[in-house]
């Protein structure tokens, strides 16, 4: 498995291209903006995009979604909760295509020869997820390196966020952490040094 980080958009969202190097099939996580950059990477590396997985439905994680769908014909997955928030067209949510497919807590998607395990981790949004694939966790805007996602936007909730952080921290073993913004980390580093993770594990 190869993970390529493309930093896109005005607030530098991490779009991840997760590739099965044997088949050159890939999955996109959070195509937030700059569709040309994303599609050029796919074309230049002769990849076939099989799906887009959204950690949540905020505008900065979905800006290039329609262009990617139209160009590749891929499936798109999101939780029904965040999809329904997007239907209301309430910022910072963005209206999502009707063709979206829904996943939920505990689902396992077999795509591009890889398995993606879905963990519901609300708090930043009501339907936010963390995606686990092999030794990597894609945490969206739930967990950042040394911090966590904001909870003061529509649908956010501080206690729910902390419970989600604990859920992530309770995963067995160590993982590479790929957040929605900023640098990557490891789960063990976040367990040890991230104030919000330590508080979540201690009190929730």
Q: Is the pLDDT of residue 73 over 90?
A: yes
Q: Give the pLDDT confidence of 141-167 residue by residue, as tens digits.
A: 999 999 999 999 999 999 999 999 999
pLDDT, averaged across the chain: 97
Mean pLDDT of 52-66: 97
Question: What's the rounded Cα separation, in Å, for the pair 162 and 199?
Answer: 8
pTM, entire model = 0.97
The values of phi and psi at residue 41, to 5°, are -65, -45
Which strands form 185-186's sheet, in the order they lie side by side? 108-111, 114-120, 129-133, 136-140, 176-179, 185-186
Q: Which fold has domain 2-203?
A: Metallo-beta-lactamase; Chain A (3.60.15)
- pLDDT attached to residue 89: 73
Q: Give the pLDDT confidence of 82-127 residue by residue, as tens digits.
A: 999 998 877 899 899 999 999 999 999 999 999 999 999 999 999 9
- pLDDT attached to residue 90: 78
Q: Is the pLDDT of residue 179 over 80?
A: yes
- List Cα–Cα distances, 114 to 47, 70, 107, 117, in angstroms: 15, 23, 14, 10
Which residues, 6+ apart, have CB-to-CB distance to 155 below 8 Å? 85, 93, 125, 126
- pLDDT attached to residue 88: 82
Q: SS3 sequence, the chain?
A: CEEEEEEECCCCEEEEEEEECCCCEEEEECCCCCHHHHHHHHHHCCCEEEEEECCCCEHHHHCCHHHHHHHHCCEEEECHHHHHHHHCCCCCECCCCCCCEECCCCCEEEECCEEEEEEECCCCCCCCEEEEECCEEEEECCEECCEECCCCCCCCCHHHHHHHHHHHHCCCCCCEEEECECCCEEHHHHHHHCHHHHHHHHHC
- pLDDT attached to residue 143: 98
Mean pLDDT of 46-57: 98
Question: What's the rounded Cα separation, in Å, for the pair 159 and 126?
Answer: 12
Q: Give the pLDDT confidence of 13-45 residue by residue, as tens digits.
A: 999 999 999 999 999 999 999 999 999 999 999
């Amino acid at each position: 498995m190869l993970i390529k980080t493309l930093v896109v958009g005005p607030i530098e969202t991490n779009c991840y291209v997760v590739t099965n190097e044997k088949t050159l099939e890939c999955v996109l996580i959070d195509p937030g903006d700059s569709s040309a950059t994303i599609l050029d990477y796919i074309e230049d590396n002769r990849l076939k995009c099989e799906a887009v997985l959204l950690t949540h439905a905020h505008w900065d994680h979905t800006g290039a979604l329609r262009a990617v769908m139209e160009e590749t014909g891929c499936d798109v997955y999101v939780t029904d909760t965040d999809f329904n928030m997007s239907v209301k067209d309430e910022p910072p949510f963005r209206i999502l295509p009707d063709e979206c497919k829904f996943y939920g807590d505990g689902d396992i998607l077999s795509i591009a020869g890889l398995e993606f395990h879905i963990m519901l981790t609300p708090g930043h949004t009501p339907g936010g997820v963390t995606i686990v694939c092999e030794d990597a966790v894609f945490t969206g805007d739930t967990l950042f390196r040394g911090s966590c996602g904001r909870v003061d936007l529509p649908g956010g909730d501080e206690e729910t966020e902390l419970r989600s952080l604990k859920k992530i921290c309770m995963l067995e073993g160590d993982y590479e952490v790929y957040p929605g913004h900023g640098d990557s980390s490891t789960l063990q580093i976040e367990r040890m040094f991230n104030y919000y993770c330590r508080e979540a594990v201690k009190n929730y």
